[in-house]
Amino acid sequence: MERSLKKALGIFVSTLLVTSVAVGDMYYDPAGDIATGNPNLDITSVEMTTSGWDLLVTITVADLNADWGKYMVFMDYGDNYNGNFGAPENNNPWGRDVGGHAGFDAFTGIWLDGGGHMSHSEWSTDHWYEQYQAPVANVDWESSSITIGYMDLAYHLGNNGVTEIGFEIGTTGGSWGDPAIDLLGGEGTQPGWGGGSTITDLQYFTLPAPGALALLAMAGLGRRRRY
Q: The domain that contains 52 carries what CATH number?
A: 2.60.40
Q: pTM of this prediction?
A: 0.88
Task: State how many domains the chain has.
Answer: 1
Residue 134 — very low, low, confident or very high, per pLDDT cuts 50/70/90?
confident
Is pLDDT at 10 greater than 50 in this prediction? no
Q: Is 8 among the domain residues? A: yes
Looking at the domain assignment, is residue 23 inside a domain? Answer: yes
- Is residue 116 in some structural domain? yes
* Residue 219 predicted with pLDDT over 80: no
Q: Is residue 224 part of a domain?
A: no
- Judge whether 104 and 121 are in contact, CB under 8 Å: no
Worst-scoring range by mean pLDDT, 43-57, 104-118, 134-148, 207-221?
207-221
What pLDDT digit, counting tens, does each position of 161-195 carry? 999 999 999 999 999 999 999 999 999 999 999 99
Residue 225 in any domain: the answer is no
Q: State how far the Cα of 120 lies from the Cα of 128, in Å rounded to an integer.
A: 10
Q: Name 43's Cβ contacts closer than 8 Å, sequence gap at least 6.
A: 29, 59, 60, 61, 169, 171, 182, 183, 184
In terms of residue numbers, what domain contains 15?
3-219
Per-residue pLDDT, 5:
63
Whole-number pLDDT of residue 68 = 94
Using a 10 angstrom Cβ sphere, with 0-12 exposed, 13-18 middle and 19 or more buried, the burial of residue 135 is buried
What average pLDDT does the chain have? 87
What is the pLDDT, as a whole number, of residue 22? 84
According to DSSP, the residues that pair with 75 across neighbouring strands are: 106, 167
Angle of CA points 222, 150, 16, to nearest 5° = 30
Strands 98-99 and 203-206: unpaired
Q: Mean pLDDT throughout 52-62?
A: 96
pLDDT over 70 percentage in the chain: 83
Is 13 domain-assigned? Answer: yes
What confidence score (pLDDT) does residue 50 get?
Answer: 95
Q: How far apart are CA 219 and CA 215, in angstroms?
A: 6
pLDDT at 106: 98
pLDDT for position 132: 76
| Any domain includes 227 | no
